Amino acid sequence: MEQRAVIRPGFKTLLAFAKSNGIDFAIVSGGIDFFVQPILQELLTDEAIYCNGSDFSGETIRIEWPHTCDAACNNQCGCCKTSIARKLKQDGDIIVAIGDSVTDFELAKQADHVYARDYLITLCEQHGIAYTPFETFYDIVDHLQTTEVYA
């Protein structure tokens, strides 16, 4: 089978950095399990991946929304990144958001630090949200090693 999806360079390095520094790491994606999980299956356990689900038992694929908005979210998210962050966060935790699109914006507004690229940069600038730009995950690791973002 031909593989077409490519993870941005430095992702394995970012995961190793997180693990060696005791940083909990989760992927929260608006994508659907049948394409998100195969891409990440050799890198993360399913418990660290939050995305929309799928049911192939009928004549058509049924999309499932296991991570909908909690009472604190005013949007109608399919996979609510802020609700998941609130669920995972423990006292004293720092939320670091990494994203590139409008689906990452609500979390960026609540995060302690934001790594942004593409359209998320535009949104952060329009709304006065501080961010660190990145192109690859190596950029994020370099920044984390030279700052105290996660301390």
Its pTM surpasses 0.75: yes
Each residue's pLDDT tens digit, 70-101: 999 988 888 999 999 999 999 999 999 999 99
Bridge partner list, 27: 49
Alpha carbon dihedral 82, 83, 88, 93, in 10-degree steps, equals: 40
pLDDT at position 4 over 80:
no
On the question of pLDDT at 2 being above 80, the answer is no
Q: Which of 149, 124, 151 has the alpha carbon at shortest distance from 139?
A: 149
